[in-house]
Amino acid sequence: MAFVLDASVAVGWVVAKQATEYSRKVRRMARRDAYHAPALWRLEVANAVRTLVQRESISVEAARTAIDILERIAPVIHTARSEMSELLELSIRYDLSVYDATYLALALELRLPVACADGRLSKALKPAGLRKF
């Protein structure tokens, strides 16, 4: 089954210190199912990896390797179709950052579950009529 992929889960695919059983399970599923993300996914992934370098959780070389891998296994990227006002409304209604509301809007548009490790986004799925992958 296809799904929307949050950046937090994707980073767990390539950074051992960020890996969880859930991120490994999602990665196995991604080998056979399509996965989708909003265009901002690339920025969020790069920023998350950079933050790990800044916190000295991974080396610069490990960060470069992680980004190289993520660029090759990137999801189907969708440009934003939602208006900023719609994203604002979703973020207010479900107590999300506008960034996370972008994932929610895409999942609503595609009617797909969401693979995420973010607590707020996970919590918003059921009230929005979606499920966690």
Is the pLDDT confidence value at 16 over 90?
no
**Residue 60 predicted with pLDDT over 90:** yes
Please give the pLDDT value at position 74.
Answer: 82
Q: What is the pLDDT of residues 64-111, one digit of tens each?
A: 999 999 999 889 999 978 899 999 999 999 999 999 999 999 999 999
CA distance linking residue 131 with residue 47, whole number of Å: 26
Give the torsion sign (CA, 110, 94, 126, 29). positive
Q: What's domain 3-125's superfamily in CATH?
A: 5'-nuclease (3.40.50.1010)
- Percentage of the residues of the chain whose pLDDT score is greater than 90: 90
φ and ψ at residue 77, rounded to 5 degrees: -95, 135
**What residues does each domain of the chain span?**
3-125
Is the pLDDT score of 51 beyond 90? yes
